[in-house]
Structure 1
């Protein structure tokens, strides 16, 4: 019953026009930043530690830009419930989809990598509309099962298959030797059971997932980064693909992990406000 109520509410809100959704977003910015001060300590701490050379005023301006963008993500995610395919194509421009399609033409699968940057959620819809080959989106299940199920059904509207992290190997093995793309949002915080590899990321000692590199080497599939950036016009984005690894077999352990995290880091440094700064990214520390 609760799941049905959540689904119904999302559907009703998703029917609102964009101008009204963005008016709601403007109100949410005021409430989150000035009222509830949503995760403000986390955001400011993350920004300060990531950019130690920036002044207090500069950090404050970055935080405000993030809090203005974050509500847009929320309302745009809800809109995914009823958005039409042609509207998705209009709102996310694929700059060079041939960079992925050439791997498919060679009969290869693709290990896709992205981050919680730009509108990664709408990116699932755009990826789904780019090809009819299997599109796997690897995700970390939410603690709230009802919301997890409702949101995954929303993400799958145009043919994506949501795969929990723990099940990725069986899917990869099943698709071995056939064109497909497995998309990893690879900047999440692992548990100590999932990874023991630390690297410097945004000036901080950071526990990172290594699964992308391990699976790439296991399958020998190329690794392609999906950079979803925001255009100047509100609600519009671009997606640019970059092949980071053509032949995983020539890379040593953790080199692929280092490579895609460095790419994410440089992307964030250019326009920091579009990364998910409210995430407790650095809550895991090295064990003594």
Structure 2
């Protein structure tokens, strides 16, 4: 009953027009930044440590732009509940789709990599309506099972299959003889038991997932980065595909992991306000 209530409320709110949702977003910015100061200490600490070369004023400017953007993500996620396929295609332009199609024509699966940047949730929809080949979205289950089920149902509206991280190998093996795409949001913080590889990411010693590399080496599939950026017009995005890895066997251990994370870092440095700074990304320190 609780899940139905959440889903029902989400649908009703999604019927509000964009202009009204963005008015609510503007109000939410002041609430998050000035009133409740949602994770403000975490955000500023992350930004300061990532950009030590910048001034305090520049750090605050990035933070304010992030808090301006965060409520937009919230209301856009709500709006997704009633979006049509035409709405999705209108909101996200695909750039270099031929990079994915090229691998499909060769009969290969594609390992897609993205980050908590731009509107990654809307990116799931755009991926879903891009092709009829199987679309797997790899995710880390939420601690609240009700919200987890509601959001997964929302993400699957256009045919994507949500796959928990621990089940990905079984699903990919089942699809090994046909074109498909598996999408990894690869900038999450792993548990200690899930990774032991640290790298310098945004000037900080960072524990990173190596699962994308492991899957690539097992399947021999190429890795394509999906850069979801924001256009100047509010609520409009682009998704640019770049093949980072053609043949995983050509790379040394951890080189693939390093490559896609450095691609993410470069993207963040160009427009830092569109990354999820409120996430406790550096909470896993090296064990001594």
Q: TM class by shorter-chain length?
A: over 0.9
User: How far apart, CA to CA, are the structure 2 residues paired with 1:26 and 1:104?
Assistant: 42
Instruction: Tell me whether 1:130 sits opposite 2:108 in the alignment.
Output: no
Gaps in structure 2 of 5+ consecutive residues:
none
User: What is the CA deviation profile of residues 216-240 of structure 1, one whole-angstrom value per residue up to 9, with x for unaligned ones?
Assistant: 0100000000000000000000010
Corresponding residue number in structure 2 for 1:226: 226
Instruction: Tell me whether 1:185 sits opposite 2:185 in the alignment.
Output: yes
User: What is the CA deviation profile of residues 26-78 of structure 1, one whole-angstrom value per residue up to 9, with x for unaligned ones?
Assistant: 01000000011000000000000000011000000100000000000000011
Corresponding residue number in structure 2 for 1:24: 24
Corresponding residue number in structure 2 for 1:149: 149
Offset of 1:278 from its aligned partner?
0.2
User: How far apart, CA to CA, are the structure 1 residues paired with 2:91 and 2:64?
Assistant: 24
Corresponding residue number in structure 2 for 1:169: 169
Corresponding residue number in structure 2 for 1:96: 96
Corresponding residue number in structure 1 for 2:84: 84
Normalized against structure 1, the TM-score is what?
1.00
Corresponding residue number in structure 1 for 2:56: 56
Query: How well do the aligned residues superpose, as a CA RMSD in angstroms?
Result: 0.4
What is the SS of the residue equivalent to 1:239? Answer: strand
Gaps in structure 1 of 5+ consecutive residues:
none
What is the SS of the residue equivalent to 2:64? Answer: helix
What is the SS of the residue equivalent to 1:108? Answer: coil
User: How far apart, CA to CA, are the structure 1 residues paired with 2:14 and 2:39?
Assistant: 26
Offset of 1:280 from its aligned partner?
0.2
The residue correspondences of 1:98-113 to structure 2 (distance < 5 A) are 98-113=98-113
Moved over 3 A (4+): none
Offset of 1:177 from its aligned partner?
2.1
Corresponding residue number in structure 1 for 2:267: 267
User: How far apart, CA to CA, are the structure 2 residues paired with 1:105 and 1:35?
Assistant: 53
User: What is the CA deviation profile of residues 137-160 of structure 1, one whole-angstrom value per residue up to 9, with x for unaligned ones?
Assistant: 000000000000000000000000
Corresponding residue number in structure 1 for 2:194: 194
User: How far apart, CA to CA, are the structure 1 residues paired with 2:287 and 2:78?
Assistant: 39
